[in-house]
Amino acid sequence: MKTSISDIIDRYGNDPSRLMDILLDIQEEIGYIPEEINQKIADQLGISKAELVETISFYHFFSNKPLGKYHVYLNNSVTAEMMGREKVKQTFEEEAGIKFGNVSGDGLIGLYDTSCIGMCDQEPAAIINGVIFKDLTPFRIKEMVKYMRQGMPVNEMCRQNYGDGNNSSDLVQAVVSNNIRLKGTVVWDQYSPGEGLQKAIAMKPAEVIEEIKKSNLRGRGGAGFPTGLKWEFCTKAMETERYIFCNADEGEPGTFKDRVILTELPRLVFEGMAIAAYAVGAKSGVLYIRYEYKYLRKHLENALEELRKENLLGKDIAGRKGFDFDIRIQYGAGAYVCGEESALIESAEGKRGEPRDRPPFPVDKGYKEKPTIVNNVETLAKVTKIMKKGSEWFLSLGTKESAGTKLMSISGDCRYPGVYEIEWGHSIYDILEMVGAEEVQAVQVGGPSGTLIGPNQLPRHLGYEDLGTGGALIIFHESRDLLKEVVMNYTEFFIEESCGSCSTCRNIPVLLKDKLQKILDGHGVVQDIDDLLDWSKPLKISRCGLGHTAANPIVTSIQNFRHLYEKRVLRDREFETGFNLADSVRESCEAAGRPANI
């Protein structure tokens, strides 16, 4: 071992609130987090072993067992399935001689499913030892497993060219593509670092907030909360130690625009954080970014370093006495719910990513119980541009209630998947035409937590007055089996990602899934469709948005595609459970070595 455990913990000042970093570093160093060292870690941090295990056990990418010298995390999102994941998965299993969820006997290869890696426009994709592989095919898998047996380092296995833009820079070197299909006038317009911030510090902090309020900018993370108002709330909090968080967790399947912004324009985002810091008087900021984007780490650190050199971060920023602000990068470890702002804060404090009860909201009591602003990557990028060009200009784009542009992550059955920056107000129909989608059966607007709409709703418009969205559109061709391929996958996603605190969110999606499976198996009756709708209702009392939306795939597909359900249910009876005695006793009879006498 090169670095000792205690050195790693020392590196973070023996601070238990930096547990995520400590665990990530230990896992990086040893390959996993052996149970034998738990006591040692806990002792050095002055926490109980139970507290430590609470955190470790929460995150998908932490493991207390060796993961395999090559650990493969293959995305299992809907788009991955649509683009041929099943064959890729089978080939992996055949070539490695193990099933997913296992490590080969010699400890060489570990195969794992994972929920979303932010690459829906280039699926099937996998993360192998932290390196992204995209557009996978059985041919490539056979090659790669051969290389693994030869002991080749993972980064040498990439036989594709590095991606466009900064993906091929020395600090990134990833095969990932940006797929920027449409450069809009806000984010992608010419950018020179510091201009937004200079404008801001020429104003009073309250004027900056006023300008953002006037621009009508609303949060781009999904909920659409007015950004200026959020900042104003923060300034009203009593405590003056305040924090700025940038939410780069981007866990909603089908969303990948924040990855592209951070690849191409990290400084635009960091500058937005500095403007927010100036406006509310914060001294520190945190970029909370998902583990899947670990390959961007050096690139992001470098962007911060450049900003420090240019005095756009650090002390007396841009020459303004007393304006001190710096940013650290906090990686997550695989949990969709950590995108929820209070869970994100918990996670950044080194704990399980369980959402907090609200109120108090983060603007009152956030990171370390201090007032905290959490904004999405795209929101902060826009802040910088609004400061530079003014709220009038921003208001001139988009619609009355939805000012400006939106970055859309578009994937699924279309010719040109990728990132599009468009003004609010366009119809889904026009967008589909632009992205080369034909014979569309359905569009998932906003990812699994959003809405599944059908052809008769394509004239609907993007915007808070009609279809508000965090920016994902996933397109499904007529030939897709919506219930089996889409609704089931999304429902399983929520089951996998629930933090488990609320009994509603922990249980109801499982019951819904079983009922949907019953319908898919041909045992459903009409009552089952109504049950699905009724049983979804109590989810609304869950603590966070994950629970609130976990039934959306089922509910919105029943609302808009009820005929697909009705086609599958039995018409000739009112009640049917599908229970089969012979099937259910098979295993136990086998184990006992007795005949099944039904």
CB within 8 A of 307, min separation 6: which ones? 193, 267, 270, 271, 274, 313
Single residue of 249, 326, 364, 421 touching ligand FMN by CB under 6 A: 249
Burial of 594 (0-12, 13-18, 19+ CB in 10 A): exposed
The two tokens of residue 98 are 């193990």
> Minimum distance between the CB of residue 251 and ligand FMN, rounded to whole angstroms?
5
Q: Which residue lies nearer to ligand FES by CB, 253 or 285?
A: 253
Distances (CA, A) of 541 to 32, 121, 341, 537, 544: 37, 34, 18, 8, 9
Local structure of residue 294 (DSSP, 8 states): G
Q: Which residue lies nearer to ligand FES by CB, 524 or 553?
A: 553
Taking residues 337 to 356 in sequence order and writing x for each that binds ligand FMN by CB under 6 A, - otherwise, the string is x-xxx---------------
Local structure of residue 61 (DSSP, 8 states): T
The two tokens of residue 139 are 């041919």
Interaction of residue 375 with ligand FMN, rule CB under 6 A: yes
The separation between the first and the last C-alpha atoms of the chain, rounded to the nearest angstrom, is 59
Interaction of residue 225 with ligand FMN, rule CB under 6 A: yes
The per-residue b/e assignment along 143-164, b for 16 or more CB within 10 angstroms, e otherwise, is: ebbebbeeeeebeebbeeebbe
Q: Tell me which residue has its CB nearest to ligand SF4.
A: 547
- Whether 475 contacts 410, CB under 8 Å: yes
> Minimum distance between the CB of residue 219 and ligand FES, rounded to whole angstroms?
19
Q: Which residue lies nearer to ligand FES by CB, 205 or 448?
A: 448
| Residues lying near ligand FES in the complex (CB under 6 A) | 75, 77, 79, 116-120, 253-256
What residues between 478 and 517 interact with ligand SF4 by CB under 6 A?
Answer: 498-502, 505-506
Name which of ligand SF4, ligand FES, ligand FMN, none residue 569 binds, using a CB cut-off of 5 to 8 Å depending on partner kind. none
Phi/psi at 147 (nearest 5 deg)?
-60, -40
6: helix, coil or strand?
A: helix
Taking the C-alpha atoms of residue 9 and residue 26, their distance in angstroms, rounded to an integer, is: 9
What residues between 291 and 330 interact with ligand FMN by CB under 6 A?
Answer: none
3-state secondary structure 559-575: HHHHHHHHHHCECCCCC
Q: Which residue lies nearer to ligand SF4 by CB, 289 or 337?
A: 337
Q: Which stretch binds ligand SF4 (CB under 6 A): 6-14, 308-316, 482-490, 536-544?
A: 536-544
> Minimum distance between the CB of residue 410 and ligand FES, rounded to whole angstroms?
11
Q: Which residue lies nearer to ligand FES by CB, 79 or 557?
A: 79
Name which of ligand SF4, other proteins, ligand FMN, none residue 598 binds, using a CB cut-off of 5 to 8 Å depending on partner kind. other proteins
Q: Which residue lies nearer to ligand SF4 by CB, 300 or 544?
A: 544
The two tokens of residue 392 are 């009038």
Among 466, 476, 463, residue whose Cα is nearest residue 216:
463
Taking the C-alpha atoms of residue 109 and residue 480, their distance in angstroms, rounded to an integer, is: 33
The number of helices, as runs of H, and strands, as runs of E, in the chain is: 24, 15
Phi/psi at 405 (nearest 5 deg)?
-120, 170
Local structure of residue 144 (DSSP, 8 states): H
Structural element, H or E, at residue 327: strand 326-331
Interaction of residue 337 with ligand SF4, rule CB under 6 A: yes
> Minimum distance between the CB of residue 120 and ligand FES, rounded to whole angstroms?
3
Q: Which residue lies nearer to ligand FMN by CB, 314 or 538?
A: 538
> Minimum distance between the CB of residue 39 and other proteins, rounded to whole angstroms?
25
Other Cβ atoms within 10 Å of 50 Cβ, number: 9
> Minimum distance between the CB of residue 519 and ligand FES, rounded to whole angstroms?
25
Burial of 277 (0-12, 13-18, 19+ CB in 10 A): buried
Q: Which stretch binds ligand SF4 (CB under 6 A): 48-56, 209-217, 274-282, 539-547?
A: 539-547
Name which of ligand FES, ligand SF4, other proteins, none residue 500 binds, using a CB cut-off of 5 to 8 Å depending on partner kind. ligand SF4
Among 350, 187, 214, residue whose Cα is nearest residue 271:
187
> Minimum distance between the CB of residue 2 and other proteins, rounded to whole angstroms?
40
Single residue of 247, 542, 556, 557 touching ligand SF4 by CB under 6 A: 542
Q: Radius of gyration (Cα) for the chain, nearest Å?
A: 25
Taking residues 510 to 549 in sequence order and writing x for each that binds ligand FMN by CB under 6 A, - otherwise, the string is ----------------------------------xxx---
> Minimum distance between the CB of residue 374 and ligand FMN, rounded to whole angstroms?
5
Single residue of 269, 443, 544, 555 touching ligand SF4 by CB under 6 A: 544
- Whether 147 contacts 157, CB under 8 Å: yes
Interaction of residue 335 with ligand SF4, rule CB under 6 A: no
Q: Which residue lies nearer to other proteins by CB, 171 or 596?
A: 596
Distances (CA, A) of 222 to 89, 216, 227, 378, 446: 32, 15, 12, 11, 8
Interaction of residue 60 with ligand FMN, rule CB under 6 A: no
Interacting residues toward ligand SF4 by CB under 6 A: 337, 355, 498-502, 505-506, 542-544, 546-547
Interacting residues toward ligand FMN by CB under 6 A: 219-223, 225, 247, 249-252, 336-337, 339-341, 374-376, 379, 544-546
